[in-house]
Structure 1
Amino acid sequence: MLKHLPTEMKHGNGFETTCNHSLPLVQPGKKSWTSKWMKVLPAPFIFLLTFQAAQAQDPELKAITSPVIKTQDTTIRKLVEEMQRITDNDKTNSNAIQALLQGKEIDNMSKYDLIKNNIINASETYYLLNKKIIDLKSRTTTNNLDVFITSLNNPESKALGFSLSDRIVELVEKIILKNKSDKGEKNSKIVESTKSIINSPIFQSFTSLTPPLAIANSVMNFLHSVSVNNKQINQKSLQDFEKELNKYVVYYTALNDANQKFEYGLNFNKDQLSLLQDNLFDHLSFTATSLKFPAPQKGNKPLSQTMNEYFYEFKKEKVVEYFGQLETKYTKNKRIDYESLLRENPNLKEVNNQLEDLVLQTKRFENLYNEYFTLLDSYYTKVNNSLKIAQDNGLADKSIIDNKQAEFRNLKTDAVQEIQASINIRELYSNTEKIKYRYRIF
């Protein structure tokens, strides 16, 4: 490379220059920009710049290939790569932070929407559940079905082609008095006393359960007591009378058993509905006070009346209005601050997280509702069995029994349809399904 240098630079230890022109004066207060950068730039970088400048001035130097600088030995390359890495990391971190902030806002908004929709739907569920509890509590059967059962169990009724009262008198005259009721004062008194027992006001006050059985038992006791002083009434006559009377007793006992078990089942069902309504009242009180609504007060009124009156205040429209006011309060720059709203109103989360109990109460009602129809099915079976006993014992013709069973089946079907239409359990199902109670908010 030295052979390309000027002649003056080939000899001697330094550079010697000759110039016929005077050099300009250098002002001491100013330094070349080059001198400043010389202090801060690395030596390899200065060498590279000097070499490129020489190439630009000497065309022959352009032919010389630039030296290859290995990456591991190059400070500049390392600095550039490090700066690029830092820039890329900053960009990635910035995007991640923005995503987290946006995600947090969306998360809070989603939580709030879930809570809001759950509580609004719950307010309607409270109303529907209470209404249906009251309706089911008031049910026994339907009027037509009650009339049918009462007629079967009435000693004076001839629903099956006979009257128990008349049959008992006939049996007394035929078996006890040997068809001699009109002969002798004692006989006539026995018949009159028997009629008096049957028509006793005590038995007349029994409307549905035990009149036939009570009458039969009283008549038997009366005849046994009379037989002590009346030699005409012997043990065989009493046994024959009791045998015939028992055919009716067995029928009425089966019918009475059906009535009693149905009545017991209904009372138990009502007790459970009352307990459920108490639990509903407590849950409603918690939700109402948490939302700053006035709490319901039991007072001296029946609970059903208290609940009905309270739903004039605590209803779906009022709850929707409550959330509207809440959103207005936390709106800033036309955006709802969901984070502050949830943080400053922790009661909303608590109400939402307690809604599972309300859903369980609706399921308890569904069970009691289904149990009612199970009771009705069982009752239907038992009444039909009692009618079959009446047929088997020869108390009524098969055609009459068949007609009564068909009538009972139709009345039972009508009763089921009437209760189902009145309570409309599907309405409760649909509303309860809107409550996403499995999503708890923390």
Structure 2
Amino acid sequence: MMRYLTLLLIFLTGFQLANAQEPTKVQDPNELKTVMPQVRAADTTLRRIVDELQRITDSDKQNSNAIQGLLQGREIDNITKYELIRNNIVYASETYYLLNKKIIDLKSRTTTSNLDIFITSLNNPESKELGFSLSDRIVELVEKVVLKGKGDKDEKNSKIIESTKSIIASPIFQSFTSLTPPLAIANSVMNFLHSVSVNNKEINQKTLKEFEKELNKYVVYYSALNDANQKFEYGLNFNKDQLNLLHDNLYDHIMFTASALKYQLPQRGNKSIGETLNDFFFDFKKEKVVVFFNDLETKYTKGKKIDYEALLRENPNLKEVNNQLEDLILQTKRFENLYNEYFTLLDSYYGKVNSSLKIAQDNGLADKSVIDAKQAEFRNLKDDAVKEIQASINIKELYNNTDKIKYRYRIF
């Protein structure tokens, strides 16, 4: 406005000066009448001022439109930022719940009960799953190889047989896990016979070596089975340790998000992380997070519009939660890796158990038809176990949810 007043004053001043400088002549009658063109200085100045006023008006209008455009763009930008944050955090709340549930499920897995029963029966010295009982076979070898079929000929031999049976039936071995009894029994019987041979001249080193050779056919089979069991158990324990670490990281991430959303933080006390988070998710759930954002929008509504700029400015933690969601995605990918590693362990275990069964066949411990049947049974049990775990954990459910989180868009 000041610019317009200034130009107007210039115009008026110029107009007055032009009139003041124009001379008044008295025409001499004797002079020739010559028409001279007059320069209308005042008109020229006026046009120039009017043009300048029009240029300034147009410029101001353009600037005003540009400012309005920037303000509108800024408002749209704030709306976009807010909607991205809201959607991401809502989907993240569901991801927290799903990831916690699936970590707990996978941590509880060893194998299925049917598969466990199958392996335990193969490793049981009393079992006749392959057509023989290790306990019976050891007694038979002592009678035939060590005592040369004279187990019932005298009291000394009878005592050796009874002592061998007593070792096999020892409560010590009965209390062992399913991984080691056959090997422990074979080793104890061998040590016993070596000690007996010191005072029994009929049991010489040649006899013991022959006995050991026959016994080793069983030892090799059980050792292979034992190795398969131990490696599978070690792999499961390592997998479980990694899941525990992942659970710790998830707990820390949830603590940060809950704090930003003004939720009461989950308190562990003496409870496990699983128990703590299960209790926490009774309140911290997707529906409640939606309500949180609805209340926030109501708080910042002025008239019929939401002041998104003020909302984002006064709640900076929401931006930080959004920007930390990449870590949550990395946690879901880590779970995916551990989930896949479980099935890799199961495949490896399946291969090793089958190899041990093949050893039993090659060493003449069981007929081929029996081994083929057991391998087929084990394959079916393993396939059933895979299907059961896949159905229980449902990894696709986790994929579908995390795909909705636009974690690559960081808000500043």
TM-score between the two structures when normalised by the length of structure 1: 0.84
Deviation, structure 1 residue 77: 4.8
- Which residue in 2 is equivalent to 1:99? 69
Structure 2: gaps (5+ residues): 1-10, 23-34
- Which residue in 2 is equivalent to 1:196? 166
SS in 1 for 2:150: coil
SS in 2 for 1:431: helix
CA contact (8 A) 1:150 1:207 kept: no
Q: What is the letter of the counterpart of residue 264 of structure 1? A: Y
Query: Which of 200, 204, 210 matches 1:230?
Result: 200
- Which residue in 1 is equivalent to 2:270? 300
Q: What is the letter of the counterpart of residue 246 of structure 1? A: N
Deviation, structure 1 residue 85: 2.6
Q: Distance in 1 between matches of 2:113 and 2:267?
A: 35
Q: Distance in 1 between matches of 2:135 and 2:13?
A: 134
CA contact (8 A) 1:327 1:336 kept: yes
CA contact (8 A) 1:290 1:351 kept: yes
- Which residue in 2 is equivalent to 1:112? 82
Q: What is the letter of the counterpart of residue 86 of structure 2? A: K
Q: What is the letter of the counterpart of residue 225 of structure 2? A: L
Q: What is the letter of the counterpart of residue 294 of structure 2? A: G
Deviation, structure 1 residue 37: 7.5
Deviation, structure 1 residue 43: 4.5
Structure 1: gaps (5+ residues): 1-35, 48-63
- Indicate how the Cα distance of structure 1 residues 250 and 78 shifts in structure 2: closer, same or farther if over 3 A, else same: same
Give 1:31-430 correspondences, 5 Å limit: 40=15, 43=18, 74-430=44-400
In the TM superposition, what whole-angstrom CA distance separates every residue of 1:247-278 from its partner, at most 9, and x where no partner exists?
11001000000000000111111111111111
- 2:407 aligned with 1:432: no
Deviation, structure 1 residue 304: 1.2
Q: What is the letter of the counterpart of residue 395 of structure 2? A: I
SS in 1 for 2:377: helix
Q: Distance in 1 between matches of 2:220 and 2:139?
A: 18
Deviation, structure 1 residue 342: 0.7
- Which residue in 2 is equivalent to 1:13? none
Deviation, structure 1 residue 301: 1.6
Deviation, structure 1 residue 368: 0.8
Q: What is the letter of the counterpart of residue 97 of structure 1? A: I
Q: Distance in 2 between matches of 1:250 and 1:313?
A: 56
CA contact (8 A) 2:190 2:212 kept: yes
Q: What is the letter of the counterpart of residue 197 of structure 2? A: S
In the TM superposition, what whole-angstrom CA distance separates every residue of 1:206-237 from its partner, at most 9, and x where no partner exists?
23100000000000000000001111111111
- Indicate how the Cα distance of structure 1 residues 37 and 112 shifts in structure 2: closer, same or farther if over 3 A, else same: closer
Count of residue pairs brought into register by the alignment: 389
Q: Distance in 1 between matches of 2:186 and 2:13?
A: 132
- Which residue in 2 is equivalent to 1:21? none
Q: Distance in 2 between matches of 1:368 and 1:434?
A: 22
- Indicate how the Cα distance of structure 1 residues 84 and 244 shifts in structure 2: closer, same or farther if over 3 A, else same: same
Q: What is the letter of the counterpart of residue 116 of structure 1? A: R
CA contact (8 A) 2:300 2:311 kept: yes
Q: What is the letter of the counterpart of residue 246 of structure 2? A: L
Q: Distance in 2 between matches of 1:251 and 1:68?
A: 123
SS in 2 for 1:94: helix
Q: What is the letter of the counterpart of residue 291 of structure 2? A: E
SS in 2 for 1:269: helix
In the TM superposition, what whole-angstrom CA distance separates every residue of 1:153-198 from its partner, at most 9, and x where no partner exists?
0111111111111111111111001111110111111111111111
- Indicate how the Cα distance of structure 1 residues 149 and 79 shifts in structure 2: closer, same or farther if over 3 A, else same: same
In the TM superposition, what whole-angstrom CA distance separates every residue of 1:33-85 from its partner, at most 9, and x where no partner exists?
xxx989726749x99xxxxxxxxxxxxxxxx9x9999xxx9545543443333
SS in 1 for 2:397: helix
SS in 1 for 2:126: coil
SS in 2 for 1:231: coil
CA contact (8 A) 1:176 1:238 kept: yes
SS in 2 for 1:365: helix
Q: What is the letter of the counterpart of residue 124 of structure 1? A: E
TM-score between the two structures when normalised by the length of structure 2: 0.90
- Indicate how the Cα distance of structure 1 residues 197 and 99 shifts in structure 2: closer, same or farther if over 3 A, else same: same
- Indicate how the Cα distance of structure 1 residues 135 and 38 shifts in structure 2: closer, same or farther if over 3 A, else same: closer
Q: What is the letter of the counterpart of residue 394 of structure 1? A: G
CA contact (8 A) 2:14 2:45 kept: no
- Indicate how the Cα distance of structure 1 residues 303 and 76 shifts in structure 2: closer, same or farther if over 3 A, else same: same
Q: Distance in 1 between matches of 2:385 and 2:266?
A: 35
Q: Distance in 2 between matches of 1:120 and 1:84?
A: 54
Q: Distance in 1 between matches of 2:139 and 2:38?
A: 139
Question: Identity across aligned pairs (percent)?
Answer: 79
Q: Distance in 2 between matches of 1:177 and 1:193?
A: 13
- Indicate how the Cα distance of structure 1 residues 355 and 37 shifts in structure 2: closer, same or farther if over 3 A, else same: closer
Structure whose CA Rg is larger: 1
Q: Distance in 1 between matches of 2:15 and 2:341?
A: 93
Bigger Cα displacement from structure 2, 346-355 vs 238-247: 346-355
SS in 2 for 1:292: coil
Q: Distance in 2 between matches of 1:289 and 1:249?
A: 59
RMSD: 2.4
In the TM superposition, what whole-angstrom CA distance separates every residue of 1:105-145 from its partner, at most 9, and x where no partner exists?
11111111111111111111111111001000100000110
SS in 1 for 2:373: helix
Q: Distance in 2 between matches of 1:42 and 1:387?
A: 120
